Structure 1
Amino acid sequence: MTTTLEPDIKLDDTAEDHRRIRRFERRVGITASGGKFCDGWILAVIGVVLPAATTSLDISLVGQGLLGAASLLGIFFGGLLFGWVTDRIGRKKMFQFTLTAFLVCSILQLWAADTWQLFALRLIMGMAVGADYTIAGSMIAEFVSSKKRGPYLAGMIAWWYAGFSLAATFGYLILAAFPEEPDLWRWVLASSAVPALAVILGRIGMPETPRWLARQGRRAEAITIANRYLNLANRQDLFQEESAQVGYSTLFSKPFIRRTLFTSIFWATQVAPFFAIFTFLTPVLDGLGLGIEGQWAEIAFYMVLLVGSFIGAGIINKVGRRQLLIVPYFFQAGAMLLLGLWTGAPAGILVACFITFALFSSASNVLQMLYPSEIFPTAIRATGIGFSAAMSRIGAAGGTFLLPLGLDAWGTGPVMLISAGILVVGLIVSIAWAPETTDMELSASTATGSIPVADLASANLPGATPPRQ
């Protein structure tokens, strides 16, 4: 690719410039990841309060499944709609709006009078989170340097697990400390307003991304912001991306259809077993006959998830995207297979299987925001992220809704075997289609025909990284 520089692109930086850019990149990373923190928070607390809410509102078994899946369904609709909107109107406007809607609905949960009111609020919150997925990934991809982009995008999932773990721990401790308070579960649900407010304040004054401005033909604005906030390599790459049309039709055009299928399928197969199992971890553990206190077992597993996500974010640039996606599938599927075939195993074996699943799942899940942010161009980046997130939530919501019904109808063993089968599907797709984009500038990682993708028939090793072109 021949690089043609704009005449007003600054080609050198002072020490003060470097410090300002580093500070800004950290701010982008924290405020963008804050939305994932809030997402993890609301998904954790519903699992914590569901028993108390069920008693208070007389929620049926189907209602429990709907509440567990509500925010996931919201992410589906929010990702589909607002990814496209974000590519149309820009990242800056949506960056503030999404969590404001989330904040309002968090507070309104205090007054939910029945299952359907609570379901509606959590559906709207999920839509806000789905919208935020598309914006946050685009903000990091388009502002942060190629060296830091991987850890920052991967770190978004670490923030998700942090929110998930802290919310679950907070919820269990509060409910255990005040068991005589019948409506305390409402305050636990509404607690998501606190991190949402903090993130909203941190996002005030964020600029529009230069890449989106350049895509709109607003070159002077793009260059002004780029000279202040992008590092040299990112500035030089600003106008080098191939052009693409905004819209869903582009996602399914010949240059991008395989990328769309890949990001959607691998994301869905990662989250479907995870959300199903960890939303209803207590009945799953009971079904396996583990003689441990359910809530403390859950907190322990959440801590494992947090550790695994930090490991994944820490090694993403060292082992590469492809290796980190493929290898953990073997361990996750193996753990679920063993749980399904040996439900009467000793407690130590069962716990080891859950820890293995949690550790490798969380380490690999850091790629969920990273891949679509890196392989879709600016014109359809938010649309691609939103569509992939939406497709993943079909699996997640379906698994969350069906798992309690499956436990009731078939028992724990068959449910674990189904989870193993879902993971094998993700493994096959990843071996066939996962690209390696480590250290690439966005113009290279998004260019049609430039992303190396393994051919399943010629893949000698399941985690082998195909040569770059």
Structure 2
Amino acid sequence: MKIIAFISTFGGLLFGYDTGVINGALPYMSRADQLNLTPFTEGLVASSLLLGAAFGALFGGQLSDRHGRRRNIMFLALLFFGATLGCTLASDTTLMVIFRFLLGLAVGGASVTVPTFLAEMAPAEKRGQIVTQNEFMIVTGQFLAFTFNAILGNTLGEVGHVWRYMLVIASLPAVILWFGMLIVPESPRWLASKGRIGEALKVLKQIRKEKQANEELTEIKTSIAKESKMKKATIKDLSTPWIRRILFLGIGIAVVNQINGVNAIMYYGTEILKDAGLGIKAALIGNVANGIISMGAMLVGIWLLGKVNRRPMLIIGLCGTTTSLFLIGLFSMLLEGSPALPYVVLSFTVLFLAFMQGAIGPVTWLTLAEIFPLGMRGLGMGFSVFWMWIVNFSISLTFPMLLASIGLAMTFFIFAILGVFAIAFVHKYLPETRGYSLEEIEQHFRSYDDEAVHSELPRQVKQ
């Protein structure tokens, strides 16, 4: 099982690397002798991947349901490889945007297919631990992107097309993922859902003890029989108040995850530090600190999930990120032109990421997994993740233009204001889910009509 998890989470590693590498590559792409990017085309190059990811996430789950988790991951590996080479060899902005969009389809597909595959392959007692490995691999991929950017920028920074070397590195894990999946079996849950019971049992015996394999197959068949009788939620069901409420909450939580501008920092960290006064080589090194703190904070966040209630953990995280954003804006005004400013900005950026990756990120994905009942999980997760990527796309597209037109301080004040709205949303609408079964959570949402939504206080967790 360890080998299966290690190989398949290369999809998460690619997700992280491809979203993080643009951070260091963009300043070199923007040069007049390269792609000669303007603030608008900078945003377009960075955000086109995210638009592709929105659609990749929307349709990736359906494709893996139809063709199998393993086969879909292998196809995504090929798409990662081909699109990476396309970006590396792009001769103009148009081609870069096209191939970044295709790369985004792979990123979005991996964001839904890999966790599903891991959840279905893992034994119940280790499911949480194994699925969260994918989240850790995502931030590891971003850390590796920042590290390679710093190494290449400081050793080959005078070479105009050094950005091509930064991008092409992502082709290596894509090759490892494709060849690795050749030795990985298909999900037994998917095989059983297609009536291939014998193959499902064979796979289970490869990754479980024989008695456990037989017991798990019985559970899978029972679960599939129940699901086949269950009515799945559709768009028409939005006329039902409790379904509308829970979908509104899911989309809201997904949007809250993005409107603090986290990915503006992850994608444009080098530009932010340059704007604050650092040289490009020093800015690239500074971003490695962002990668290190993201990895460490993610591990702490995963540990905290089992010990702290979801709602206060999310609110504390949002308070931390909002305060960090406000302080970046404030000191950008007070220390404008000072040689100390870039180091102050970097310090608060690191603080921001500690709260983001240590509290907001882990709680977001766990909460989305908990609030949707089985009958509407496909609809709810699909819509929520789609809107998460769309907001990510919108912020990434507009950030360079905001930076160029209103400056560093005002841009971060805007994110801080959005953070206040995010805190208010979570405080008003998010119930506590830790300590409740999925059935109890569903009943909680069923028990209030639209009028009660606005007056009902979040429930306290069971002790």
Kindly tell me: are residues 154 and 373 of structure 1, through their superposed partners in 2, closer, same or farther at Cα, counting changes over 3 Å?
A: same
Task: Choose the corresponding residue for 1:36, options 12, 20, 25.
Answer: 12
Q: Are 1:141 and 1:373, in contact at CA under 8 Å, matched by a contact in 2?
A: no
Q: How many residues align?
A: 438
Report Cα offsets for 1:294-314 as digits up to 9, x if no partner. 222212122111211121123
Q: Are 1:79 and 1:130, in contact at CA under 8 Å, matched by a contact in 2?
A: yes
Q: Does 1:269 align with 2:256?
A: yes
Report Cα offsets for 1:61-95 as digits up to 9, x if no partner. 21111011011111011111222333344423312
Kindly tell me: are residues 295 and 180 of structure 1, through their superposed partners in 2, closer, same or farther at Cα, counting changes over 3 Å?
A: closer
Q: Does 1:338 align with 2:316?
A: no
1:268 corresponds to which letter in structure 2? V
5+ residue gaps, structure 1, are 1-23
Report Cα offsets for 1:216-254 as digits up to 9, x if no partner. 555565555456546688667532475345685388574
Residue correspondence of structure 1 range 312-391 to structure 2 within 5 A: 312-343=301-332, 344=334, 347=341, 350-364=345-359, 365-376=361-372, 384-391=380-387
2:414 corresponds to which letter in structure 1? I
Task: Choose the corresponding residue for 1:70, options 38, 41, 48.
Answer: 48
Report the structure, 1 or 2, having the larger helix content.
2
Task: Choose the corresponding residue for 2:163, options 177, 185, 188.
Answer: 185
Q: Normalised by the size of structure 1, how large is the TM-score?
A: 0.81
Task: Choose the corresponding residue for 1:85, options 40, 59, 63.
Answer: 63
Query: 2:317, 2:170 → 1: CA distance?
Result: 31
Residue correspondence of structure 1 range 189-338 to structure 2 within 5 A: 189-216=167-194, 222=200, 225-226=203-204, 229=207, 237-238=219-220, 239-240=222-223, 243=227, 244=230, 249=235, 252=238, 254=240, 256-272=243-259, 273-288=261-276, 293-338=282-327
Kindly tell me: are residues 310 and 111 of structure 1, through their superposed partners in 2, closer, same or farther at Cα, counting changes over 3 Å?
A: same
Residue aligning to 1:401: 397
Kindly tell me: are residues 436 and 148 of structure 1, through their superposed partners in 2, closer, same or farther at Cα, counting changes over 3 Å?
A: farther
Query: 2:410, 2:12 → 1: CA distance?
Result: 32
Q: Normalised by the size of structure 2, how large is the TM-score?
A: 0.82
Q: Does 1:165 align with 2:165?
A: no
Q: Are 2:20 and 2:267, in contact at CA under 8 Å, matched by a contact in 1?
A: yes
2:315 corresponds to which letter in structure 1? I
Report Cα offsets for 1:90-130 as digits up to 9, x if no partner. 42331221121111111232321100101111110110111
CA shift for structure 1 position 134: 1.5
CA shift for structure 1 position 337: 2.3
Residue aligning to 2:104: 126
Q: Are 1:372 and 1:381, in contact at CA under 8 Å, matched by a contact in 2?
A: no
Query: 2:328, 2:107 → 1: CA distance?
Result: 32
Query: 2:441, 2:317 → 1: CA distance?
Result: 28
Q: Does 1:418 align with 2:414?
A: yes
1:398 corresponds to which letter in structure 2? S
Q: Does 1:52 align with 2:18?
A: no
Report Cα offsets for 1:339-366 as digits up to 9, x if no partner. 3344325747544422221101111313
Q: Are 2:309 and 2:461, in contact at CA under 8 Å, matched by a contact in 1?
A: no
Q: Does 1:155 align with 2:149?
A: no
CA shift for structure 1 position 289: 5.5
Residue aligning to 1:449: 443
Query: 1:458, 1:371 → 2: CA distance?
Result: 19
How many percent of aligned residue pairs carry the same amino acid? 22
CA shift for structure 1 position 165: 0.9
Q: Are 1:335 and 1:357, in contact at CA under 8 Å, matched by a contact in 2?
A: yes
Query: 1:147, 1:299 → 2: CA distance?
Result: 35
Query: 2:136, 2:446 → 1: CA distance?
Result: 27
Q: Are 1:311 and 1:363, in contact at CA under 8 Å, matched by a contact in 2?
A: yes
Kindly tell me: are residues 251 and 215 of structure 1, through their superposed partners in 2, closer, same or farther at Cα, counting changes over 3 Å?
A: farther
Query: 1:107, 1:236 → 2: CA distance?
Result: 45
| SS at 2:9 equivalent | helix
Residue aligning to 1:4: none
Q: Are 2:24 and 2:270, in contact at CA under 8 Å, matched by a contact in 1?
A: no
Q: Which of 406-415 and 230-239 deviates more?
A: 230-239
Q: Are 2:49 and 2:103, in contact at CA under 8 Å, matched by a contact in 1?
A: yes
Q: Are 2:232 and 2:376, in contact at CA under 8 Å, matched by a contact in 1?
A: yes
Q: Which has the higher contact order (CA 8 A, sep 6+)?
A: 1
5+ residue gaps, structure 2, are none
1:264 corresponds to which letter in structure 2? I
Q: Does 1:117 align with 2:95?
A: yes
Please tell me the root mean square deviation across aligned C-alpha atoms, in Å: 3.5
Query: 1:350, 1:172 → 2: CA distance?
Result: 18
Q: Are 1:375 and 1:445, in contact at CA under 8 Å, matched by a contact in 2?
A: no
Kindly tell me: are residues 190 and 250 of structure 1, through their superposed partners in 2, closer, same or farther at Cα, counting changes over 3 Å?
A: farther
2:419 corresponds to which letter in structure 1? L
